[in-house]
Amino acid sequence: MEAGGVVHALRLLHRSLVPGGVLLDLQPAAADSLVLAGGQPAGWLDERDFQRDLAATAEGLGQAVAEGLFVLEDEVWFDIVHSFDAGALLVAEVSGWRGVRVPADIPPRLRARHSPFEVVEACTLRRLRAL
């Protein structure tokens, strides 16, 4: 979604909230996700296209704050771990994620290793207050 679309969506959501209501925004952080196999690093996903979407979202959120719709109150960072029974399943699933590509050197590493197969996705959770 473009920044203008994000602002439009946030205006609609602001209208749905009671005065002083809470907006919680859970998003991947601006960092590529780490692939692990057997507890060892197997490479980083290529998320350049997705990072562009995230930048547009951040810009839109910033505009909504500048408009006085919301104020940022708190933000935490944490990891989400996606676990897969098989390396091939990891590749198939992740290849379907928007704006994410599995680099060519990762599948051979997964084939050579044992489970668990995991993707560690860095995330942020922001709490904003409707004004």
Partner 1 sequence: MSRIAVHPAREMAALSLVGGLDDMRVLEVGCGDGRLTLAYARRTRSVVGIDPDEERIAEARRTLPPDLTGLVRFEVGDVVELLQPPAAFDAVFLSHSL
Residue 125 near residue 26, CB atoms below 8 Å: yes
In sequence order, the 6+-apart residues with CB closer than 8 A to the CB of 42 are 35, 36, 106, 109, 110, 113
Site for partner 1 in 33-52 (CB under 8 A): none
- Candidates 4, 23, 52, 103; binder of partner 1 (CB under 8 A) is 23
Q: How far is the CB of 27 from partner 1 (least distance, A)?
A: 6
| Of 59, 54, 47, the residue nearest 97 (C-alpha) | 47
Binding characters for partner 1, 65-104, by CB under 8 A (x = yes): ---------xxx-xxxxxxxxx--x---x-----------
| Of 84, 91, 80, the residue nearest 38 (C-alpha) | 84
Q: How far is the CB of 19 from partner 1 (least distance, A)?
A: 7
Q: Which of 84, 106 has the CB closer to partner 1?
A: 84
Tell me if 24 contacts partner 1 by CB under 8 A.
Answer: yes
Q: Which amino acid type is present at position 131?
A: L
- Candidates 27, 51, 91, 113; binder of partner 1 (CB under 8 A) is 27
Interface residues with partner 1 (CB under 8 A) are: 1, 5-6, 8-10, 12-13, 15-19, 21-28, 57, 60-61, 74-76, 78-86, 89, 93, 123, 125-127
